[in-house]
Structure 1
Amino acid sequence: MKTLAYLQQKLRSAEDLKAVVRTMKAMAASNIGQYELAVSSLGEYNRTVGLGILAYFREKPPIVLRNKAIVGSKKEPRYCAIVFGSDQGLVGQFNDAIAGFMAAYFSDLPGKKEVWAVGERLGSKLLDLGYPPTKRFVLPAAVEAITPLVSQILVKSEENIDNGRFNGVYVFHNQPKIGVGYSQIAEKLLPLDEQWKQRFLSLEWPTSYLPQVAGGMKDTLLALIHEYLFSSLFKACAASLASENASRLIAMQRAEKNIEELLENLHHDYHQLRQGLIDEELFDVISGFEALKKGR
């Protein structure tokens, strides 16, 4: 049976939970801003790197750098997927969506597959789909911590391409949509093949002055490629973190709405019960008064 003390305790608990949800909403909104700013700031940098690669290929178009990180391996196909998920909960279907998208995409590729999971909670989702992660990485908690993670992933992936273990490395992540929500993205990170080269040859040089490459041709291209790979992974990680916080913000908004409905019902029950107790006390007073009056 509900009592006033019980309802008061439930109201206090609901109010405390509402305060926590509001705090998490504010944190998610703040995080979305910083990660989206990081993604947008990479746009101009990527354009600069792309123009540098364009300058190299226009300077020496017949030259092809024979490096396994560029042309890939000719052995039995073996592919690696780097999948960005989340380390924390309260993100709705965030991990399920990207894990399912990766599994569907990889099912169309022949050969063996290997999966690297970025985010602790993503690993269990991949395991359920038959893709147990062979490597796990911890997601950064701030923009400043993305660089060490990206450097670590980049070193591992280039090592496996260089020794011929992988024929290709793909990156899967969620990306914020214009307005509300997010979508799943798949990008081929390695090898950097002829199709990758043509992407830069299709760019237009912004001025009438012909570009020239200063320094060693091979060293220049390797430096540009390293920056291209780094910025690609950095952008994928930042976009995934922005999507994660957007998903958490949506979840917190739903939770806040449910808590407000719960509070409304609890307040209604509390006032109804309190009014009933007051009515009972009034009836007792009236009954006592009537009995006393008859006695006199």
Structure 2
Amino acid sequence: MSMLARAARPSLGRITPAVGAAPAAARNMATLREIELRLKSVKNIEKITKSMKMIASTKLARAQRAMNAAKIYGIANTSVYEHAEAEKTESEGKTKKLFIVVSSDRGLCGGIHSSVSKATRREVAKDPADSKIIVLGDKSKAQLQRQLPGEIALTFNQIGKDIPTFADGAVIADQIVKSGIEYDSVHLIYNKFMSAISYEAHVVEVFSEQTLKNSPNFRVYEMEDDVTRDLSEFALANAIFAALVEGHASEQSSRRNAMDNASKNAGEMINALTMQYNRGRQAVITNELIDIITGASAL
């Protein structure tokens, strides 16, 4: 019995180190399984990005039609200022500037929110002492709160879910007037729609009530204060509406381009993973064939 135990010890010693280690084929199968799961995940992501690209393309066509229709409101503003011969007035002291940043609450659209945030920081840096910021949209709000928390006076959310209407611009303008924020000039910062593949941050100044009162053609007539006040509020609502619509079109364009690039990147990753999976699978099959041939030759 003792001789049998002594004879078995060397064989057990040889087997024990191999218990904790997985065979080479098992390690290859585990790697192939991981590649297969990752390949499946990337394919699902590609399906999502392609669907989002199609949706953004449809929304972009609607946004462009709405933008073309909204240009009538901007033409009305320009016509009033041209006939009134209104010009920018320089006050003796520092002017209080109000910046209205037009953004949205939605992401996955490239760097469209960063562009207006950077433009806002540049404009505020020119005169940081007498500047206040109103942000439309949570994305730019989150970016500006990190660097300009003291200048933000008012914020709006629920922006960008659907095509903006003039009622949206009128409500925002009304809330700005009722907030009691004092300002001498209003500067709208938004993304100007250049084409289906490009946009740029643009700054537009809206004339104030005092500028309209001091314009040559308005001073000719005796008018009540309500006339110029209502006209300036209407002009502000017009400008906000035009900026909202154009910013919405730029956002849809940027989202479509972002999803297109994401789909292309996913396709390239799928090709690379498929090649890696096929090479690993071929190596496993080759090793198994070698084992079979070696065993058959030994017999």
| Closer/same/farther in 2, CA of residues 35 and 18 from structure 1, 3 Å limit | same
Is 1:40 matched with 2:68? yes
Computing the radius of gyration from Cα coordinates, the structure with the larger value is: 2
Q: Distance in 1 between matches of 2:130 and 2:228?
A: 30
Most deviating of 7-16 and 276-285: 276-285
Q: Distance in 1 between matches of 2:172 and 2:93?
A: 23
Q: Distance in 2 between matches of 1:283 and 1:108?
A: 75
**1:50-61 equivalent positions in 2, closer than 5 A:** none
Provide the residue aligned with 2:284 in structure 1: 277
Q: Distance in 1 between matches of 2:127 and 2:213?
A: 18
Q: Distance in 2 between matches of 1:196 and 1:287?
A: 100
Kept in 2: contact 1:80–1:169 (CA 8 A): yes
| Structure 2 gap segments, 5+ residues each | 1-26
Provide the residue aligned with 1:136 in structure 2: 155
Once the two structures are superposed, what CA deviation does each residue of 1:224-280 show, in whole Å capped at 9, x if it has no partner?
Answer: 655543332111011111212222222222222221121111101111111111112
Provide the residue aligned with 1:206 in structure 2: none
Once the two structures are superposed, what CA deviation does each residue of 1:118-168 show, in whole Å capped at 9, x if it has no partner?
Answer: 11121121123324422111113111x5444312221123346xx682212
Q: Distance in 2 between matches of 1:72 and 1:153?
A: 27
Is 1:11 matched with 2:39? yes
Look up the SS of the partner of 1:23 in the other structure: helix
Q: Distance in 1 between matches of 2:228 and 2:95?
A: 26
Counterpart residue type for residue 104 of structure 1: R
Counterpart residue type for residue 126 of structure 1: L
Provide the residue aligned with 2:206 in structure 1: 189
Which residue, out of 284, 290, 295, partners 2:297? 290
Q: Distance in 1 between matches of 2:51 and 2:139?
A: 22
Q: Distance in 1 between matches of 2:90 and 2:64?
A: 33
Provide the residue aligned with 1:256 in structure 2: 263
Q: Distance in 1 between matches of 2:214 and 2:264?
A: 47
Deviation at 1:108, TM superposition (A): 2.4
Aligned residue pairs total 263
Kept in 1: contact 2:206–2:235 (CA 8 A): no
Provide the residue aligned with 1:207 in structure 2: none
Once the two structures are superposed, what CA deviation does each residue of 1:50-75 show, in whole Å capped at 9, x if it has no partner?
Answer: 557777x5xxx9xx9xxxxxx99998
Q: Distance in 1 between matches of 2:56 and 2:298?
A: 65
Look up the SS of the partner of 1:134 in the other structure: strand
TM-score by length of 1: 0.75
Counterpart residue type for residue 257 of structure 1: K
Which residue, out of 170, 177, 200, partners 2:187? 170
Kept in 2: contact 1:53–1:224 (CA 8 A): no
Is 1:234 matched with 2:238? no
Provide the residue aligned with 1:158 in structure 2: 177
Kept in 2: contact 1:84–1:240 (CA 8 A): yes
Question: Percent identity at matched positions?
Answer: 20
Which residue, out of 41, 51, 58, partners 1:30? 58
